Amino acid sequence: MTAEPVLAQILTGEFSEYGPTPSLGFNGSTPGPLLTVRQGDELSVTFENRTGEATSVHWHGIRITNRMDGVPGLTQEAVPDGGDFEYRFVAPDAGTFWYHSHSRSWEQVARGLYGPLIVQETAPPDVDADIVVIVDDWRLGENAEFIDDFDGMFHFAHGGRLGNYAKVIPSQSSVRRGDRIRLRLINTANARVFPVAVEGIDGKLVALDGMPLGRVEEVGTVTLAPAQRADIIADVVDDIEFSFWSGQDNYRLGLITVDGSNPSPRTSEIQRLPSNGIVAPSGEPDRRETLRMQGGAMGGRHPGEDIWSFNGVSDLPEKPWLKVDRGTAVQISLVNDTSFPHGIHLHGQHFFEIADGGSLGSLRDTSLVNARESRDILCVFDNPGKWLLHCHMLGHSATGMKTWVEVT
Ligand SMILES: [Cu+2]
pLDDT by residue (tens digit) across 160-200? 999 999 999 999 999 999 999 999 999 999 999 999 999 99
CA distances, 306 to each of 156, 241, 405 (Å):
10, 41, 20
List the end-to-end C-alpha distance of the chain, in Å, as a whole number: 32
Q: Is the Cβ–Cβ distance between 225 and 368 less than 8 Å? A: yes
Q: Do domains 2-122 and 153-261 have the same CATH topology?
A: yes
Phi, psi angles (nearest 5°) of residue 325: -75, 150
- Tens of pLDDT along 234-284? 999 999 999 999 888 999 999 999 999 999 999 999 999 999 999 888 889
Query: How crowded is the C-beta side of 208, counted as CA atoms within 13 Å?
Result: 24
Whether residue 274 has a cis bond before it, omega within 30° of 0 = no
Taking the centre of ligand 1 as the mean of its atom positions, its distance from the CA of residue 401, in whole angstroms, is 7
Per-residue confidence (pLDDT) for residue 158, from 0 to 100: 97
Give the C-alpha separation, 211 to 222, whole Å.
Answer: 15
153-261 classified as CATH 3.40.718.10: no
Taking the centre of ligand 1 as the mean of its atom positions, its distance from the CA of residue 340, in whole angstroms, is 7
Give the burial string for 169-198 (b: 16+ CB within 10 Å, else e): bbbeebbbbbbbbbbbbbbbbbbbbbebbb
2-122 classified as CATH 2.60.40.420: yes
Taking the centre of ligand 1 as the mean of its atom positions, its distance from the CA of residue 113, in whole angstroms, is 20
H/E run at residue 8: strand 2-8
Per-residue confidence (pLDDT) for residue 206, from 0 to 100: 98
Q: Does position 16 have pLDDT exceeding 90, yes or no?
A: no
95: left (phi over 0), alpha (psi -120 to 50) or beta: left
Taking the centre of ligand 1 as the mean of its atom positions, its distance from the CA of residue 130, in whole angstroms, is 32
Ligand 1 being an ion, which residues bring their Cβ within 5 A of it? 342, 391, 393, 396
Beta strand spans in 105-178 (E): 114-120, 129-138, 165-170, 174-177
> Per CATH, the architecture of 287-407 is what?
Sandwich (2.60)
Q: Is the Cβ–Cβ distance between 362 and 344 less than 8 Å? A: no
Q: Is the Cβ–Cβ distance between 397 and 105 less than 8 Å? A: yes
For the chain, the structural domain boundaries read 2-122, 153-261, 287-407
Quickly state the pLDDT bin for 356 (edges 50, 70, 90): confident
Taking the centre of ligand 1 as the mean of its atom positions, its distance from the CA of residue 393, in whole angstroms, is 5
Q: What share of the chain is helix, strand, coil (3-state, %, to 5)?
A: 5, 50, 45
Taking the centre of ligand 1 as the mean of its atom positions, its distance from the CA of residue 201, in whole angstroms, is 33
Taking the centre of ligand 1 as the mean of its atom positions, its distance from the CA of residue 392, in whole angstroms, is 6
Taking the centre of ligand 1 as the mean of its atom positions, its distance from the CA of residue 346, in whole angstroms, is 13
Taking the centre of ligand 1 as the mean of its atom positions, its distance from the CA of residue 389, in whole angstroms, is 12
Q: Does position 37 have pLDDT exceeding 90, yes or no?
A: yes
